[in-house]
Structure 1
Amino acid sequence: MPTTSTGSKSNPARHDMSVILVTGSYDHEIRFWEAWSGICSRTIARTGESGQVNRLAISNDKRFLGAAIHKKIHIYDIGSASSDPILVLDKHTNNVTSIAFNSEGQWLASGSEDSTIRIWDLRSPGNIVHRTYENGAPVNDVIVHPNQGELISCDQAGSIKQWELTDNLCSHELTPAGDVPIRSISLASDGSCLVAGNNKGQCYVWKVNDESTSLPRFQAVTRFLAHNKYLTRCLLSPDAKYLATCSADTTVKIWSISPGYDFKQEKILVGHQRWVWDCAFSADSAYLVTASSDHTARLWEMASGETVRQYNGHHKAAVCCALHDGAS
């Protein structure tokens, strides 16, 4: 993240495409930002279109932006100035709540309030759904396992499920708090640890064991109350040393993680005026971006816990953000 645009008075700084920072809002707009200047460099206005932007995802190669917009998923070419999507995926029948690219950007997984999880083959013409999983309850979050062979989802019925891509089935199910809805899940980049947060602000943590061992796949190690109000997002840092939790209480909490899975509250990031809906870490785990109902997004420095940049421009709640500043 510390890369900045370079320029002089006669040669103004140009947008540094090595850092892609995007926010989505209930104002229907998607905005690209210059991370360090705070300038909005591009707006996908979607004039005349209805549908709020629920989630955003950037492909690993930085070519594509996926946007979950009401019942549809729009795929945008990040390198293009066009506001028109290059693909519209439209088989869901209710709000799309979560999207995730696979590591090579060849397919996309999506979860929806229509109680299905779908896998879309982005290489196929004609908006092809490669696979559909019937979840039985509205899906709140879905992530692709680093091994690219499994999905993990969570839902309104309080379940966390692992789906096998090869066998087309649910192989494991966890219900840590009965029927309390699980809002958000995050898996360590090496697949070793799973964290889930629910509507009551509780976080649950499992050590993920290799299938080849005799140990359970998901071994419960701890749980803790992260917030006294609704939890909206939990996210492990790329180095798996920190957990960020976002909440209706207007704060973001940063938790350090010991090798023995002891979670200790390190910092409370204070500054947003309303609900904080989403967050994204920089590749080096040194910065965090957040999106809030107060219409703004913020860039936080993890070491100090201070806001180093605020992004103003949305005129309704900013509910999702995506950041990709690593190697493509």
Structure 2
Amino acid sequence: MAQPTVVLATASYDHTIRFWEAENGRCFRTIQYPESQVNRLELTPDKRYIAAAGNPHIRLFDINSNSPQPVMSYDSHTNNVMAVGFQCDGKWMYSGSEDGTVKIWDLRAPGCQREYESRAAVNTVILHPNQTELISGDQNGNIRVWDLTANSCSCELVPEVDTAVRSLTVMWDGSLVVAANNRGTCYVWRLLRGTQTMTNFEPLHKLQAHDGYILKCALSPEMCEPNRYLATASSDNTVKIWNVDGFTLENTLVGHQRWVWDCLFSTDGLFVVTASSDTTARLWSLADGEEVKVYKGHQKAIVCCALNDGNGLSS
């Protein structure tokens, strides 16, 4: 059977990764992941592989294969891996863990190439679009910028002392960085004109987005332009969509029955995908905030998802 054109991947505390035909909701492949839960899923830039961040390892699976075995395993973390992502050409991978480290990996080799010490459990790591800076957020409330060229920490921000930074997101053009924390607050920084590095940011906005934890925040992709949105997923069972121009509330996505752990935009910027403790993932229309599709099949909380949608979904 031919591979579906739009694939949604979800991972759950039931120790499985499921692959769905996003447009009709059919689950067509399940990978057993017995060693641990999966904390994060991320596709390689060429969409050929998917990385599953577990405890304490990262496994890389071939998306187009039916093999249940990973093609590569990365094994030098010593605790939950909470963040994973890729350089834009797929030459290397980065990760962040509750062991307090941020690591860089050559995808073709099993060993870790570089390691940075955050001195607290790392919850989130993102790669700036300039491809030369990693930004990490940890359990103690620290945000650190790791300059990969200088191989050192170039900047530290502490928006709220001892308040865990749960999620970081950066605008596709590098102009904004948002940090979301355990108190439901988003902090926004703006890149100063004419600069290309995180050391030249200024505080732009503080948004009290939710009363509960924010578990994930995501900025809209380039195809959304000229509209720019921020999505925030929370322990209050909702996802909120904010217009970045003034940070006004555009929509509240209501339907999940329990915590919403993950949210992401489709490539075309027309849809949002969410993953929840209520054992479902959902597809929402960004235009009206209405639920389009529910993905059911997991037995326990779904905590992360990834979407391979090429040029976007059709409605």
**What is the CA-CA distance between 1:213 and the residue it aligns to?**
8.3
**What is the CA-CA distance between 1:230 and the residue it aligns to?**
1.0
Q: 224, 230, 235: which is aligned to 1:243?
A: 230
Larger radius of gyration: 1
Partners of 2:98 and 2:192 lie apart in 1 by: 30
Cα pair 2:145 2:198 within 8 Å, conserved: no
Which 4+ stretches in 1 moved above 6 angstroms? none
TM-score by length of 1: 0.90
The equivalent residue for 1:4 is none
The equivalent residue for 1:9 is none
**What is the CA-CA distance between 1:84 and the residue it aligns to?**
0.5
- Do the aligned partners of residues 133 and 215 (structure 1) sit closer, same or farther apart at CA in structure 2, a change above 3 Å counting? closer
**What is the CA-CA distance between 1:324 and the residue it aligns to?**
2.5
Name stretches of at least 5 consecutive residues in structure 2 with no aligned partner.
Answer: none
- Do the aligned partners of residues 303 and 72 (structure 1) sit closer, same or farther apart at CA in structure 2, a change above 3 Å counting? same
The equivalent residue for 1:65 is 50
Cα pair 2:76 2:111 within 8 Å, conserved: no
The equivalent residue for 2:215 is 232
**What is the CA-CA distance between 1:217 and the residue it aligns to?**
1.3
The equivalent residue for 1:78 is 63
- Do the aligned partners of residues 274 and 212 (structure 1) sit closer, same or farther apart at CA in structure 2, a change above 3 Å counting? closer
- Give the aligned residue type for 1:143: I
Cα pair 2:268 2:311 within 8 Å, conserved: no
Cα pair 2:191 2:198 within 8 Å, conserved: no
Q: Percent identity?
A: 52
Cα pair 2:96 2:122 within 8 Å, conserved: yes
Cα deviation, 1:113-132, whole Å, max 9, x if unaligned, reads: 000000010123xx121100
**What is the CA-CA distance between 1:157 and the residue it aligns to?**
1.0
Q: How many residues align?
A: 308
**What is the CA-CA distance between 1:209 and the residue it aligns to?**
2.8
**What is the CA-CA distance between 1:211 and the residue it aligns to?**
7.5
- Give the aligned residue type for 1:286: L
Cα pair 2:135 2:146 within 8 Å, conserved: yes
**What is the CA-CA distance between 1:284 and the residue it aligns to?**
1.1
Cα deviation, 1:9-32, whole Å, max 9, x if unaligned, reads: xxxx95423x23100000010001
TM-score by length of 2: 0.94
The answer to whether structure 1 residue 136 and structure 2 residue 119 are counterparts is: yes
Q: CA RMSD in A?
A: 1.8
The equivalent residue for 2:268 is 284
**What is the CA-CA distance between 1:216 and the residue it aligns to?**
5.8
The equivalent residue for 1:5 is none
The answer to whether structure 1 residue 155 and structure 2 residue 164 are counterparts is: no
The equivalent residue for 2:18 is 31
SS at match of 1:53: coil
Cα pair 2:49 2:60 within 8 Å, conserved: yes
Cα deviation, 1:154-181, whole Å, max 9, x if unaligned, reads: 0011111110111110101111112211
